[in-house]
Amino acid sequence: MRIVAGEHRGRRLVAPPGEDTRPTSDRVREALFSILGPLDDARVLDLFAGTGALGLEALSRGAAHATFVERDRRALQALRRNVETLGMGRERATIVAGDHTRHLRDATRRGDAYDLVLLDPPYRDWPRLTPGLGPVLRPLLGEGARVVTESDRHALAIPDLGDADERRYGDTLIRIHRP
């Protein structure tokens, strides 16, 4: 697994051993970010960050800052190592160790706003983790924001995120919402 393009193109990323963390493949990330286009100065939220591959790709391609939210201890270790390896300081990357609902609640209270939200929960947990996310995310979306979801091809769309551009890559389904 590596950064596909931008400032850190070709740099390798680490993932924790085992099947619990499933990083987005290089091919899918390359296709996704080609569709998204320029990310200059974007504020990114990488929810269910895992290794951080999606948010780190966004930073490599010009995003100003990414907030990574992850609760799994082994994934957090890999994420911290990847952020450190790429030399992303606190001015560009914030790692939140904990539950996504708590972060979303706290971010809303602070008045945070994001231009790009990346949602890639574990496929097996999609039905449990995604209901109710739409209304909770809406107050955090800046003008013209996009929400990207990655799931298996059978997962239902998250309600209240608006229409989506859908792309399939094997068993992976990417939806790009423009609420």
Return the pLDDT at 60.
96
Domains of the chain: 26-177 (3.40.50.150)
pTM of the model: 0.93
Name the nearest CA neighbour of 137 among 58, 129, 171: 129
Res 20: pLDDT: 63
Is pLDDT of 53 > 90? yes
User: Residues 6 or more apart from 32 whose CB is under 8 A from it?
Assistant: 24, 54, 148, 167, 174, 176
With a cut of 90, say whether residue 162 has pLDDT above it. Answer: no
**Residue-wise pLDDT tens digits, 111-139:** 999 999 999 988 888 888 888 888 899 99
Which one has a higher pLDDT value, 26 or 19? 26
Q: What pLDDT, on a 0 to 100 scale, did the predictor assign at position 125?
A: 85
How confident is the model at residue 129, as a pLDDT?
Answer: 81
- Contact indicator for 3, 29 with CB cutoff of 8 Å: no
Mean pLDDT score across all residues of the chain: 91
Judged against a pLDDT cut of 70, whether residue 4 lies above it is answered with yes
The arithmetic mean of pLDDT across residues 20-44, rounded, is: 89
Q: With bands split at pLDDT 50, 70 and 90, how would you rate the model's confidence at 19? A: low
Residue 160 has pLDDT above 70, yes or no: yes
Q: Is 131 exposed, middle or buried (0-12, 13-18, 19+ CB in 10 A)?
A: exposed
Q: Tell me what the mean pLDDT of segment 18-28 comes to.
A: 75
For residue range 88-98, list pLDDT tens digits in order: 888 899 999 99
The total number of residues written for the chain in this structure = 179
Please check the confidence at residue 173 and state whether its pLDDT lies above 80. yes
CA 179 vs. chain centroid, Å, equals: 17
Q: What's the alpha-carbon Rg for the chain, to the nearest Å?
A: 15
